[in-house]
Amino acid sequence: MTTSRASDAAASLLAQLVENGVTDVVISPGSRSQALALAATHLAREGSLRLHVRIDERVAGFTALGLAREKRVPAAVICTSGTAAANLLPAAMEAFHSGVPLLLLTADRPPELRGIGANQATTQPGLFDPWVRLSLDAPVPGDGDWDGLAALAVAAAMGADAVPSGLPAIAGPVHLNLPAREPLSGALPDDFTAAPGVAPALAPAEPFILERGPRTVVIAGAGAGHAAEEISFAGTWPLIAEIVSGARFGRYVVHGYRELLREDALGGRIERAVVLGHPTLSREVTALLRRDEIEVIAVRAGGEALNLNGRTQAVASVTVASGDADPSWLGAWLEASAARVVDLSENAPDQVGLLSTNFAVRRDAVRAELEAVRRPLDRELLVDAVWRATWPHDRLMFGSSRLVRVADAVLGGKKVPVHANRGLAGIDGTIATATGIAIGSQADGAAGVTRVLLGDLAFLHDVGALLLPPDEQAPRLQVIVGNDGGGTIFDSLEVASSAPREDLDRAFYTPHTAQLEHLALAYGWEYQRITTRAALDQALTTTTGGRQVIEVPLER
């Protein structure tokens, strides 16, 4: 077999990525990227990395995003030149705004073939510049080498500040544009191997000290995680935790927070808000963080600092000063919170009535039980069932659909790992991201099921992510689709009251007649259509392994 400088450079780069802690690579087929793909398949065959193949680059990008979101180390996505690279943009933007480490490796034509109308050649250097921590147009192998690029890229993706990005120590995407000349692939080096290493960890930042005194609330947005609950507990402050935060648990979590923030006796008396993660689900939290008189301390989590009121202080981490707590402030919130707990559980069976010898009493008890079993599902019961079925060894992914707002309004506290693409709150890539999360969380035989709860439009937007290669082990993944036949999330927005009904339907609700069962079966997924709570509980908790689409019809 002929030798190729492209293959030599690709082998060196992939080996160095593995040595710098990269464990997962996602590729899409293409000619210009063949040397990179062949190096990745070689290392996967010898067990140095895990390889995932997707025919659609947008799906590939979000799959890598899910892997990186779950594992908190960079995952790499490799694609060919041209529009293939552009299809990585949505995942890159989400990674930037969410602070997720991601490596974008785009193959390219050499400089002499750019700007002259060559096939599949466009302006790729700088394509992702507004959204990456580091962007490099590598030399063509032979004109220069790619040594050192892997270490620099991984360090930048993990948030190292010693890179020419001008950004603070925040994780995010990195773009390596990799041009090559023909021959685009050849024999790999005889000694080509890689020793798995560990991604560099950032040195802990000096924490900002939260002094006692101001009436404080802790706000946990998407990606906040356990740290928000820990700060709430240490400060003895009420915890306002979005359902996508992964922090809705603990003794100080506030139920019905939207209503309480509107009350002068509670929300009107807040003097300081400590924000972790990216809050996006309620207008009440946004309104609070816009208030000029509120001191806002925001732990920096993504590529943009939170600063809705123009005077928010961005910090790397926080800790609570010693001193006495204000029990009356916390007590007022918890008392109001207790009155707003939503209980969607069914009443316990009337055992006395069911065993009664009185026919009328027994008849009424049986009727009540049948009504409970046959109770049709609505949005509240749907989100409650999924929440109750999910435990710490599982993963739960919320799509940016109406259901996540319903879940935020009614679900109680529970310590489970939650994910959501709320950096930009787009509906694209939901299934692909959940697939990456499932693969990452179930690696090395770990237990658990990944569930993704989304609406029908988000499902259709990413339906291509259902296609998985037959030679890759299928993750345990349940895609639960609340299907109300269109985008009813617009019911709660201004357009619902300002647009003519016909225009609202056509341009916003976008009703459809897609048969989800046919789509699921075409892609090789198990399918169930479920209309009652009892059947949904059974489907969620008696998984057979592999991939399932569960469709729940909902009223418009």
277: domain CATH number is 3.40.50.1220
Tokens 């790729």 locate to 124
Residue 493 resides in a domain: yes
Q: What is the pLDDT of residues 168-209, one digit of tens each?
A: 689 999 999 999 999 999 999 888 999 999 998 877 778 999
pLDDT of 377 above 60: yes
Q: How many domains does the chain have?
A: 3
d(CA 418, CA 241): 12
Same domain, 212 and 175: no
d(CA 319, CA 241): 18
Tokens for 122? 């466009």
Same domain, 245 and 304: yes
Instruction: Mention every residue, 6+ apart, whose C-beta is less than 8 A from residue 6.
Output: 35, 141, 180, 181, 183, 184, 185, 186
Nearest one of 520, 480, 468, 479 to 60, comparing CA atoms: 468
Q: Tell me, what amino acid is at 390? A: T
Residue 199 resides in a domain: no
Same domain, 435 and 540: yes
Residue 141 resides in a domain: yes
d(CA 13, CA 11): 6
H helix runs in 210-300, sequence order: 226-235, 257-262, 283-290
What's the distance, Cα to Cα, between the start and end of the chain in Å? 62
H helix runs in 396-515, sequence order: 402-410, 430-441, 456-461, 495-498, 501-504
* The predicted structure's pLDDT at residue 241: 98
Same domain, 419 and 477: yes
Average pLDDT, integer, range 38-47: 97
| 164: exposed, middle or buried (Cβ count in 10 Å: 0-12, 13-18, 19+) | exposed
Tokens 């080996």 locate to 15
* The predicted structure's pLDDT at residue 347: 64
Residue 355 resides in a domain: no
Same domain, 533 and 423: yes
Residue 213 resides in a domain: yes
Residues forming beta bridges with residue 198, ordered by sequence position? none
pTM: 0.93
Q: Which of 2-11, 129-138, 201-210, 367-376 has the lowest mean pLDDT?
A: 367-376
Nearest one of 421, 387, 416, 370 to 534, comparing CA atoms: 370
Residue 112 resides in a domain: yes
Same domain, 22 and 132: yes
Structural domain of residue 127, as residue ranges? 5-179
Last residue of a domain, one of 272, 305, 338: 338
Residue 197 resides in a domain: no
Q: What is the pLDDT of residues 148-158, one digit of tens each?
A: 999 999 999 99
H helix runs in 236-303, sequence order: 257-262, 283-290
* The predicted structure's pLDDT at residue 164: 47
Same domain, 41 and 164: yes
Instruction: Mention every residue, 6+ apart, whose C-beta is less than 8 A from residue 532.
Output: 373, 374, 375, 376, 377
Q: What is the pLDDT of residues 344-359, one digit of tens each?
A: 776 666 677 667 788 7
Last residue of a domain, one of 280, 311, 338: 338
Same domain, 222 and 326: yes
Residue 354 resides in a domain: no
Same domain, 299 and 383: no
**Hey, is 194 helix, strand or coil?**
coil
* The predicted structure's pLDDT at residue 535: 93
Tokens for 217? 């609330």
Same domain, 417 and 537: yes
Same domain, 466 and 326: no
Q: What is the pLDDT of residues 507-538, one digit of tens each?
A: 777 888 999 999 999 999 999 999 999 999 99
pLDDT of 543 above 90: no
Last residue of a domain, one of 338, 354, 388: 338
- Which CATH number goes with the domain that contains 20? 3.40.50.970
Contact (CB, 8 A) for 109 and 179: yes
* The predicted structure's pLDDT at residue 375: 74
Residue 16 backbone dihedrals phi, psi, to 5 degrees? -70, -30
Tokens for 177? 């544009």
How distant, in Å, are the alpha carbons of 236, 246, 248, 276, 469 from that of 229? 10, 9, 8, 10, 40
pLDDT of 437 above 90: yes
Our CA dihedral for 362, 363, 365, 371, rounded to 10 degrees, sits at: 160
Same domain, 157 and 21: yes
